[in-house]
Structures are given as structure tokens and as C-alpha cells.
Structure 1
Amino acid sequence: MHVVIMGCGRVGSTLARGLTERGHSVAVIDQNPEAFRRLDRDFEGQMITGVGFDRTVLTEAGISRADAFAAVSSGDNSNIIAARVARETFGVTNVVARIYDSGRAAVYERLGIPTVATVRWAAGRLMRLLDPGPDSEVWRDSTSAVAMIELNLHQDWTGQPLERLEKATGVRTAYLIRFGLGVLPTPSTVIQDGDQVFALVTDDLATPVRRTAAEAPEGAQ
């Protein structure tokens, strides 16, 4: 596939190298020609100096045949403008933008433009490494809105249908680890002794979900 990248900073140059190593054609746009020094000398993609949301520059980068567009410059406004031009003007369906302001990221996600909220994601990741806590999450999505946590189950959940736990907590189970192996749950899955259960939650649900899982099921003997 052909990918156009706006921004040749550390993220953009790393992305460009990774995509070319996978055999994709890549065009990188940056206003500063010195930025292209971050690319390998044998980089086979296009290096175009210009503004990433300028239609002439995008056309030179092959946006009309692009399968994907990534806006990863250092400016939120530039990234969003470029992402919208790529999608709305040139019809690129796979468009992603890096956004530092998590509030803006949420808005553009609702507009259908996937974003990576860099600051919030990085801060959250650092916090989990520095102070994981007893119920540390094991994964968080790039927008920092959804997390995966391991549930500390009350012993009385053993033998109960997993569906009952999901109904009680109001969230979905992502997977189980049983006898050391990952298992995808099915409608007939029953919780066994020693199961590790991982659920997908938003921040507002994490605490009540953990609390419910740690309590005996309602009506359990």
C-alpha cells in the first residue's frame, strides 16, 4: 500500500522506516528539509518539503492513490487540518492523527478520525509503571479511554457462568487465562478455580467493576 506521512520527527521517521521495511511505498512531508536527516540514507520513499495540508504538496506525495495517511507533526491544528483534507477532499479512508490535547482528540474521534492522544497516553503509561497498585491495568487504548484490567474474583464466583459476572459488572470479558493459556470466552463459559479474568472498562467503571467482582455473587450460598 501507499502511505503519506505528514511530519518527519521521531514518530514520523520511525513510522516511515517501519512501513518501508514492510514493503510499503511511503511519502514523507515536512516543512523543514533538515528533518529528513532522521531517515536512513537508503530510504526509498519520497521526501517532500512543504505544508502537509496543502493540496499541491499532498498531490505530489501521491495522496490520490494513498491507502492511508498519518498526520504526526508537532502541531494539533496542523494534524487535524491535514487529516480532514486527506479524508474529505481526497477520500483517503484510513486516516489517523496524533493529538496532544486529549479533549480535542475525543472530539475528532467522534468525527470519525482516529487519534493518538500522546500526552495522556504517555502520562498514564508512566503512572502505571511508577505506581502500578494492587489492581493495575494491563492495557489501555491509544485514546486513553478504554482499559483492560484483571479482576480479583471472590471465591464464590467459581462455578458461576461468566455471563452472570458480566451482567453483574455491566462490562465485557476480554479473555481468560486458564492453566497458563489465554482463552476467549463463549456464551457457555463457566468460571473455574484459578481462572484469571480480564475485562474491558472505562475509567468511571473500573472501581465499581472491581468492587462487584470482589464480592460474592448475589444469592450465592
Structure 2
Amino acid sequence: MLISSASEPAPGGPANEDVVLVGAGFVVVLDGATAPAGVPTGCVHDVAWLAGRLGERLAAVLTERPGLELREVLRTGIERLCALHEGSCDLANPDSPSATVAMVRLHDGRLDHLVLADSPVLVQGRDGEPEVTLDDRVERLPAYDLASVRRLRNAPGGFWVAGTRPEAADRALTGSHSVERVERFAVLTDGVSRLVERYGWSWWRLLDTLDAEGPERVVRAVRAEERADPPGRYRGKRHDDATVAFGRP
């Protein structure tokens, strides 16, 4: 499996809270969820720490158990992450650091993928349209004030992220394709998928640009669109960490 990737922090941001890890037959992409300023998380670690440690543990599970169902990979990774800091942190705090997860794994003639929260996976077949796996539950919340988001995080009727609740893995979206039918794929954080969701690109254009010009070119395109966009036009951050991996099986 051939994979290229790029990851860049938001302009002016303190750290890149995205993670991309590439191994033998897999790619893992995470996007740490930035906590609002002043909100006590009950954790002595920051979001970048959590995303990095979770990514390492997911990569280890994928390496140790290459055929394990991807929801179980995620569950095991979250369990190992919790064991790493349960002695120093309040894992029952609903505002504990968390991350989105997107994975692609090549195994036994299949290309499997998993998505939890808003980091999508694109898979284009040799004769078909790009298939997009996008967990948009966070975009369908009834309200986005702090109390509502806290109440609906990792809760039925809300949205699910990876952090302190291993059972969140059961809510991940998964899929699988025969590798013989896959032409190319991409795994990205919402800092890159905004090219489609905000700025009018098509998934075809995104895949074609990745294929022809590489992930770094796509990240530069994100920054150009953000700079040209009037401040305050969209809910959420004007700039975000941007991460994308592109591959062929």
C-alpha cells in the first residue's frame, strides 16, 4: 500500500492537535478536539498528548493483531489509553480531552475503514464515484452551547468521540471493499474536508488534486481558501489544523 501524507497546524495555533500515523498496511488519522478556554477537563494532559498517545496505541494494535475488526481495534486502543492516565486524571469528567478517529487498513484482500466523528474517509472504486464515509452527528446537534455539547458528547442522540469511553468504538462507522476494486483512497481531518463542505470543491476534485499534486498542495489550497474567506462566515474556527493521507492499495 502506497501512502503519502501532510499535516500542518492552524496558522497562529500553539500546536498541531492532528496526528497521522502510517504503518505496514494501515493509516491512522486523528483530530484532537480543542477544549474551550477555561473549561476544567479533569486531565493533566492536553489534547495533543491525548491524540498522540491514542494514535500510538491504535498503531500498536493494528500491528499486533492485523485481522482484528476495526471497532475492536479502536476499543482496545481507548482502553490502553485510559490505563495510561487513569491514575493521574479524572476520566469521568465529560470534558476530558478527546479526538476524532479515521483508519484505513489493508488485510486479507480487503480495504477496511473506520470513522468516528468528523474526520472522513474517501474510497474510489475503479469504475465508480468516490464513496464518502462521514460521521456528521456533531453537525446535527440541537444546540452548540457548552452545556449542550457536554450533555450530548458520547451520549445517545448526540455525537461520539474517542477519549475515556471505550464503548464509543461501538458507534463508529465502518466499511470494507475488495482491494481489487479500489483505485485510490484518502483519510482526512475536517481541516481539509472543509474544501468540500465550505469552499465548493467536489470530492472528485479533492482526490484528483491529491493524486496529481500531492497532500502538501491540498493543505496549501485549504490555507488559500481560508485567507480569502470573510471572518465569521462559518460556525467554528476560521483556521484549523489540516491533515490528509492519500493512498493506493
TM-score by length of 2: 0.28
- Larger RCO of the pair (alpha carbons < 8 Å, separation 6+): 2
